[in-house]
Structure 1
Amino acid sequence: MTDLLYRWPEAAKFGKRVPKEKFYEHGTVSTAVREKFITEVQRITWAYKLAETTINLPGTSAVPEVQVFTIDSKTDDVSEAVLSAIDKAIPFPIIFEVTRSLTERPGVRMVAAHKQIGAGTPKLSAYYSTGWQPGDVTRQPLPTAITLATLYAALLQPLTPLAARPGEEMSEVADRLAAVRKLEREVASLERKLRAEPQLNRKVELRRTLKTKQHELTELVE
C-alpha cells in the first residue's frame, strides 16, 4: 500500500453533487446500509470523469470510463458497505476519495475495489486503500497510460498489497489477493488449533497441514 493522492486533470472535472437518496432507489440497498449512508455520509460528489472526451485516452468494453467520487464523511470514516452500494449503482469503475474534517484527525484517503462490469451487477474485489493523509498533501500526476484500461490498472496497483506479476491483469491480482487473504485466515486458524491441541499425533498432522498452507501462501505472495 502506497500513501499517495493523484492530481486529477482539470479537463476531467465534473463536480456534480449526487443525493444519497439516488442510491436508495436500487432495491439491493438494505435498511442497514441505508442507515450507514445517513449516519456516515455528509456529501457525495461525482468529482471527475476520466474518459476519452476529457483526457484523450480511448476506453475499452471493460473500462469505458473511470469515475472519481469524493465522499465527505460525517464521522471518522465511511463503511465499505456504503462504497459497495455506490459501486454497484454506477456502471463504471470508480476511484473514491473519502474525506473527514469533523474529527480530531482530519484527512483524506483514496480507496477502490477492482470492478468488472458486464451484464447484471458488477463484480467487485475487496477494497484497497491508502492510509489517511493531510488534505493539503502534494498530489502526484496520473500514471502514464495509453488506454483507460491501463490507466485504471495503474491507479489501482499502488493501493494493493501485492505487486502485479509480469503479464498479470489487474483482475488476476485481485483474485490472487483474495486467495492470499483466505489462506492467511486458514493459517491463523491452524496455528490456534496447534497451540491448543494436547494430542501429539494430532499435533503432527496439524503441523503438516500448516506447513503446506504456509508454502501455498508463499507461492501466491512471491
Structure 2
Amino acid sequence: MTEPVLFRWPANAALGRTVSKTKFYEYGTMRAALREKFVEEVQRITWAYKLADETLRLRGTPAVPEIQVFTVEAKGQNVSNDVLAAMDRAVHFPIIFEIESRGRVRTVAAQKSVVSKIPTIGAYFTTDWQPTDALRRPLPTTLDLAGLYEAILAALLPVETRAGETVSEATDRLGKARKVQREIAALERKLRTEPQLNRKIRLLRQIKEHTEALTALTDSAPSNKE
C-alpha cells in the first residue's frame, strides 16, 4: 500500500449530501449476496464534494467531466471493494472514496472510464489507514479535471509513476509485476519439494530471472535494458 494520503478538498466544492443506500440497490440488478454485504458493511454514504468547473474553475473533459468524492462510513472495520464497485457502477462520473471506520480513514479509488454508456472500472488502489484528523495535503496543481484525476490516482498507486508514464501504463505495469510475483511463488513451492539437484538448480535460475524481471517492473526508474 501507499503512504497515507488525505487530500484537502476545497470548501467551495463541498456538498455534504447523504445518499440513500436504496439508490444503489435500485440501480441495475444487484445480487442478493452483494446487497446483503452492502447492508452489513455500510452505515452511511455522503456525497461530500463535487469537483467540477463551477466549483474548482478547472475545465472538464469528455473523459473526466466531473469528479465526485464520497465518504463511506463503515458499520464495522472496513468496506469491501465489490461494495465500492457497486456504487461506482451506479454513478456516471469518476469517484474518489474516503472510507471511515472507528476513527480511521483511508482513500481508495479505481481508474474509471465514463466515455461509453457503461462505465469501465479498473482495479482499486488504497492507502493505509490513518487517523481521521490527520493533516491533509492540498490538491495537485493541474490544468484540467482530467489532469487532477490522473494526479489523485497516481498518489494512490503502490509504486511511483515513472517519468512520462500515465496511470493506465503504471497500472498495466503493476499487473505484470503481480503476475511475475505469482510465478515466483509457484517456482518457490516447486523448489521446496523438488528432490533432484539438477532440477533445483534449474528452478533457482528461473527464480533469479523472474526476480530480476520483477525488480525491473517495480523500480521507479526503468533500467537502460528495458
| Secondary structure in 1 matching 2:83 | helix
Letter in 2 for 1:167: G
The residue that corresponds to 2:12 in the other structure is 11
| Distance of 1:2 and 1:117 partners within structure 2 | 28
Kept in 2, the 8 Å contact 1:111–1:159? The answer is yes
- Where structure 1 has 5 or more consecutive residues not aligned to the other structure, the ranges are none
The residue that corresponds to 2:146 in the other structure is 149
| Secondary structure in 2 matching 1:126 | strand
The residue that corresponds to 1:117 in the other structure is 114
| Secondary structure in 1 matching 2:123 | strand
Identical amino acids, percent of aligned pairs: 53
Shift of 1:52: 0.8
| Secondary structure in 1 matching 2:47 | strand
Letter in 1 for 2:164: G
Per-residue Cα deviation, 1:104-155 (whole angstroms, up to 9, x for no partner)? xx21111111212232432322211121111111212111111111111111
Shift of 1:165: 1.3
**Deviating more after overlay: 206-215 vs 125-134:** 206-215
The residue that corresponds to 2:223 in the other structure is none
Query: In 2 relative to 1, CA 204–26 (structure 1 residues): closer, same or farther, beyond 3 Å?
Result: farther
Kept in 2, the 8 Å contact 1:126–1:178? The answer is no
Kept in 2, the 8 Å contact 1:99–1:107? The answer is yes
Shift of 1:28: 4.8
**RMSD (CA atoms):** 1.5
| Distance of 2:24 and 2:32 partners within structure 1 | 12
Per-residue Cα deviation, 1:62-85 (whole angstroms, up to 9, x for no partner)? 111111000011001101111111
The residue that corresponds to 2:71 in the other structure is 70
Which consecutive aligned stretches of 4+ in structure 1 deviate over 4 angstroms post-superposition? none
The residue that corresponds to 1:108 in the other structure is 105
2:216 corresponds to 1:215: no
- Where structure 2 has 5 or more consecutive residues not aligned to the other structure, the ranges are 220-226
The residue that corresponds to 2:126 in the other structure is 129
| Secondary structure in 2 matching 1:87 | helix
| Secondary structure in 2 matching 1:29 | coil
Letter in 2 for 1:99: E
Q: Could you state the TM-score of these two structures normalised by the residue count of structure 1? A: 0.92
| Distance of 1:206 and 1:88 partners within structure 2 | 44
Length, aligned pairs only = 218
Q: Could you state the TM-score of these two structures normalised by the residue count of structure 2? A: 0.90
The residue that corresponds to 1:182 in the other structure is 179
